[in-house]
């Protein structure tokens, strides 16, 4: 946000754990009031809220599935009621279910597309309607886009679509000085990334990273902080590949 904008409120979807939780905590330290959205993990969301409040920050948690357009409207309404309106939207909520394309179940396809693509679209649309001049929309892709590894077909397709929508929306919202960017993390040590992966597979993936380690959620939160702040005012329509040099 421009520094003169008094109201600083961030809406972070999927903020009960992992990258989303780290982002919420970092933006709170940056002076943002934070509305944390979560789908099912109430305990995790409340823990993040309490951690923010313990450090003197302001935060609330609101449950809802971002794939439902009505939920996104509710999230913006609630942020307006409590904090005065959203100035930074972070579309973080996502799911990862991996399978060769020939073996993808219809149910998995629907969950991945509904959360990773439709959920981000719902956020972008509501943000485009309601963010003030100088606002920020920050979404998440993945460095899978570029690597295109086996079993990542549907997941990678949704993330590529998020990048496409980011490029388009940045042009549409440029006249209102709203910055629209996307972060494409590499492998980050979160529950979602680690689930179902053997130690051997994790080691093999780590060897692909020039820095020789998996990313940490705070590494990604640092970049969100930059894009949400005044130093990024001349950056829009960009994909930042935060991946330790993986690609």
C-beta of residue 214 within 8 angstroms of C-beta of residue 192: no
- Residue 155 is a catalytic residue: yes
Catalytic residue among 109, 148, 152, 155: 155
The single-letter DSSP state of residue 132 is P
Separation CA 108–CA 101 (nearest Å): 11
Separation CA 31–CA 52 (nearest Å): 11
Length of the chain: 247
Q: What is the dihedral of CA 8, 243, 112, 87, to 10 degrees?
A: 10
Rounded to whole angstroms, what are the CA distances from 114 to 40, 106, 118?
Answer: 16, 12, 5
The catalytic site residues sit at 155
């Amino acid at each position: 946000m421009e520094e003169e904008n008094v109201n600083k409120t961030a809406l972070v979807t999927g903020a009960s754990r992992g990258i989303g939780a780290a982002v919420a905590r970092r933006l709170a330290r940056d002076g943002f009031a934070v509305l944390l959205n979560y789908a099912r993990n109430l305990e995790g969301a409340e823990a993040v809220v309490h951690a923010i409040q313990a450090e003197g920050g302001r935060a609330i948690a609101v449950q809802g599935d971002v794939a439902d357009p009505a939920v996104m409207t509710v999230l913006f309404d609630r942020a307006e009621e409590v904090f005065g309106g959203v100035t930074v939207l972070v579309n973080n909520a996502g799911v990862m279910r991996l399978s060769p394309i020939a073996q993808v179940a219809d149910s998995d396809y629907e969950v991945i597309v509904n959360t990773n693509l439709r959920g981000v679209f719902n956020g972008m649309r509501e943000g485009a309607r309601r963010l003030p001049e100088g606002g920020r929309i920050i979404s998440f892709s993945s460095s899978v886009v570029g690597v295109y590894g086996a079993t990542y077909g549907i997941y990678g397709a949704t993330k590529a679509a998020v990048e496409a929508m980011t490029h388009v929306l940045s042009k549409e919202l440029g006249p209102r000085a709203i910055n629209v960017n996307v972060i494409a993390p590499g492998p980050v040590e979160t529950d979602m990334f680690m689930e179902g992966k053997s130690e051997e597979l994790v080691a093999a993936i780590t060897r692909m990273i020039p820095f020789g380690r998996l990313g940490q959620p705070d590494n990604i939160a640092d970049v969100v902080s930059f894009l949400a702040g005044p130093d990024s005012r001349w950056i829009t329509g960009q994909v930042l590949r935060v991946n330790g040099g993986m690609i």
